[in-house]
Structure 1
Amino acid sequence: MTWKVIKTEKEHRQAIKRAMEIFHAQPGSPEDDELGLLLVLIKDYEDRTIKMPQIDILEVIKEKMQERGLRNKDMEEVIGSKGHVSSILSGRRELTLKMAQRLRDFFNLPSELFLRT
């Protein structure tokens, strides 16, 4: 089959099915080249059609605090003063880069969570 830009869900399913069939193709073989092309086409289609939900970093931080049994007072070492912690967690104040780095390290979170707008 000659592959082209995927425009429909049916074409998407066909491309995924074919990619699974040739997934273990020998490097450098025609099937390997086809697989590479299919993966690019599949990703392009999914990037255009599947919208990932926006993640609220404050909700993630609050969830992580709850998992660890932490209170606002426990976050003063990471975020700053009692007032800063309260302002950040209530959304009245924006996270600074330094706070984001500390929170990322403290909770072992991916940096990408802090980059979303």
Structure 2
Amino acid sequence: MTLTFNRENYANLLVEVLPQPIETEAEYQRVLAIIELLMNKESSGLEENRLLDLFVILVEKFELEHYPSQNLSTPHSRLLHLMEANNLQPADLIGVFGSQDLVVEVMDGRRSIDKTHAEKLSDRFNLPSSLFVV
């Protein structure tokens, strides 16, 4: 069974949560609560996963601007987060990296994500490739 992205469902989710740049601590806490709900949902559709990705980007931007010394987000940690959020196993990324060994090396932090793999991750998660490179 192939899942398809439903634009109407996604639009309804957007209307429900009204994503926007985070400017206050209260907005930041609201978005973190939404992320937690989305991550703890037993069965997420493509639309909810895309919304989760959007909120993660908004949180990272806010944290970079407001908590620069505490920002520990790296391409590696972003990949691990996206894998967890999308219930992916290392084998699910063989198509991106080309081999199980390379996937394991990247996940273990022994190898950096290069530009080619960042582009493939960008396509896989529908996110900017810049999130996956230093």
* TM-score normalised by length of structure 2: 0.44
Q: Which amino acid in the other structure matches residue 100 of structure 1?
A: A
Q: Which amino acid in the other structure matches residue 94 of structure 1?
A: S
What per-residue deviation string (whole Å, max 9, x for no partner) do you get for residues 6-52 of structure 1?
A: xxxxxxxxxxxxxxxxxxxxxxxxxxxxxxxxxxxxxxxxxxx9663
Out of 51, 61, 64, the residue aligned to residue 79 of structure 2 is 61
Q: What value does the CA root-mean-square deviation take over the aligned residues?
A: 2.0
Instruction: Report % sequence identity.
Output: 29
- Distance, in Å, in 2 between the alignment partners of 1:102 and 1:67 is 18
Which has the larger Rg?
1
* TM-score normalised by length of structure 1: 0.50
Equivalent residue, structure 2, for 1:111 = 129
Unaligned runs of 5+ in 2: 1-64
- Distance, in Å, in 2 between the alignment partners of 1:90 and 1:115 is 16
Out of 80, 87, 93, the residue aligned to residue 105 of structure 2 is 87
- Distance, in Å, in 1 between the alignment partners of 2:95 and 2:77 is 19
Q: Which amino acid in the other structure matches residue 58 of structure 1?
A: H
Alignment of 1:14-93 (within 5 A): 52=68, 53-93=71-111
Return closer, same or farther for 1:90/1:112 CA change in 2, 3 Å cut-off.
same
Return closer, same or farther for 1:77/1:60 CA change in 2, 3 Å cut-off.
same
**Conserved 8 A contact 1:55-1:113:** no
- Distance, in Å, in 2 between the alignment partners of 1:65 and 1:54 is 17
